[in-house]
Structure 1
Amino acid sequence: MGGEEYPPFGLCSRSKTISEGEITMKGYQDNSPSSAVSSYRPRFVFLVVISACILFTLVVSVCSTKLSSSASAASIAHASTASLSASYPVKVFFSKSPESLNNGSVVYAVNRMSPTIAVGTYAIQLLIAGPTLSERQAGYFTELNTMLSGPSNCSAPLPVGGPDFTLALNKKGTVTQTGTATVKFCRSLNSAGIGADARVTAEINTTLKQFPNIKNVVILTKDGHCFGDGSGKDLCLR
């Protein structure tokens, strides 16, 4: 009719069926965006968990470091405070009236506390400073402080002893000798007589020999001569 040709009915139906089948297969493969997100979700969760663990480890490490640093700082501060507040008992030996006036080698101890571990130096400084008022009233005395006069020739910065003297351990003058301490005065040490020289010598010797590492004591004047040596031969250095 009208010259138009129509395909057979069966062919049209088959073609339609194939098209639907193709559509059905594509739907089964499900390449939609929502499907892709679902497939990546377990991997994303795994990465989140790992990242959280790493972050937690870093936080714990930083906190531990800060706590350790704080503890160390506290320990150092405590040690420094303890060092600053440390004190050491020493004895200073003075002459005493009337006993020492009759025997110049007789001296008596008074107790002091040294704020420095250089106890030998500090003890001689206290000897030069002399006894306290109450000790003087009890008869203690020294003539050492009145025998020192004039300027000091100690170089600056002063090694030990301040402007009055230097104290060298394990030295006999300038020669090394274990167990010997040399006190060299930096100011003029004027003799007040045989009795006073004997008392001052006994005070210095006994004050330094209280320390176990000092067995012998050499006392030198500002010019390097032996104190109280009337011979002029510096016998204390031999």
Structure 2
Amino acid sequence: MLLAATPLQANSAPTVKVYFSQGFGIPGTTVAVTRAAPDRGVARFAIEQLIKGPTAAEKRRGLHSELGAQIRGRSDCRADFRLKIASGKATLRFCRTVYGTGVGGDARILNTIDKTLRQFSAVKKVITLDKGGRCLFDQSDAGTSCLTGHE
């Protein structure tokens, strides 16, 4: 599915929003920043930018992302993640291990992923899975809370 990025002006590169955390509340406040995006693969690009984290200037404004530092180990898909968008649902499965940082950090990570992907009109629901296919940071036996909507 092709997702449209927003052009800033005529003849300029399209842009996407990346939502970073500001402060350490649960799930926390998010602030959108814009990034020049490629013409294709804008949702993937937006998540890549979330993993990369804020620029130095954005950090000085108090923005942060806990996601990038928590992704470690070998990939089982030659990338950090796979992203599929179909029928209004974005499914993000990490191909490397994502370590939790505690309840607050985990909530902020999920919140920034959700907001970053929901900017696209084709996305109504976001499902975030770990390397093993369980809902990211779900500590229940089933590991399926994000699939049923009971997070």
Q: Same fold, TM exceeding 0.5?
A: yes
Q: Which string of whole-angstrom CA distances, capped at 9 and with x for unpartnered residues, describes residues 2-46 of structure 1?
A: xxxxxxxxxxxxxxxxxxxxxxxxxxxxxxxxxxxxxxxxxxxxx
CA displacement 1:133-181 (0-9 Å, x = unmatched): 01101100011011100111105xxxxxxx10000011xxxxxxx1001
SS of aligned partner of 1:107: strand
1:202 aligns with 2:118: no
Unpaired runs of 5+ residues, structure 2, are 1-10
Q: Matches of 2:63 and 2:25 in 1, distance apart?
A: 14
2:31 alignment partner, one of 92, 98, 108: 108
Q: Which has the higher strand share?
A: 2
Alignment of 1:153-172 (within 5 A): 153-154=76-77, 163-170=79-86
What residue is the counterpart of 1:53 in the other structure? none
CA distance in 2, matches of 1:102, 1:189: 20
CA drift of 1:103 comes to 3.3
Query: Percent identity among equivalent residues?
Result: 39
What does residue 120 of structure 2 align with? 211
Confirm or deny: 8 A CA contact 2:106 2:137 kept in the other structure: yes
**TM-score, normalised relative to structure 1:** 0.55
2:13 is the alignment partner of 1:91? no
Q: Is it true that 1:121 corresponds to 2:37 in the alignment? A: no
Q: CA deviation at 1:102?
A: 2.4
- Equivalent position of 1:61 in the other structure: none
Q: Distance in 1 between matches of 2:141 and 2:118?
A: 25
Residue matched to 2:145: 235
CA shift at 1:88, angstroms? 1.5
Q: What is the rounded CA distance, in whole Å, between the counterparts of 2:102 and 2:26 in structure 1?
A: 14
Q: What residue identity is the alignment partner of 1:237?
A: L
Q: Which amino acid aligns with 2:72?
A: S
Matched, 1:181 2:93: no
Structure 1 distance, partners of 2:125, 2:118, is: 7
Identify the residue that residue 75 of structure 1 maps to in structure 2.
none
- Which has the larger Rg? 1
Letter of the 2:147 counterpart: L
Q: Which residue of 2 aligns with 1:192?
A: 101
Instruction: Report how far residue 86 of structure 1 moved.
Output: 6.9
Shift of the alpha carbon at 1:198? 0.1
- Provide the C-alpha distance between the structure 2 equivalents of 1:102 and 1:128, rounded to a whole number of angstroms: 20
Contact residue 25 and residue 104 of structure 2 kept, 8 A: no
Q: TM-score, length-normalised on structure 2?
A: 0.85
Q: How far off is 1:229 after superposition?
A: 1.4
Structure 1 141/134 Cα, relative in aligned 2: closer, same or farther at 3 Å?
same
CA distance in 2, matches of 1:109, 1:126: 12
Structure with the largest fraction of helix: 1
Q: Offset of 1:195 from its aligned partner?
A: 0.4
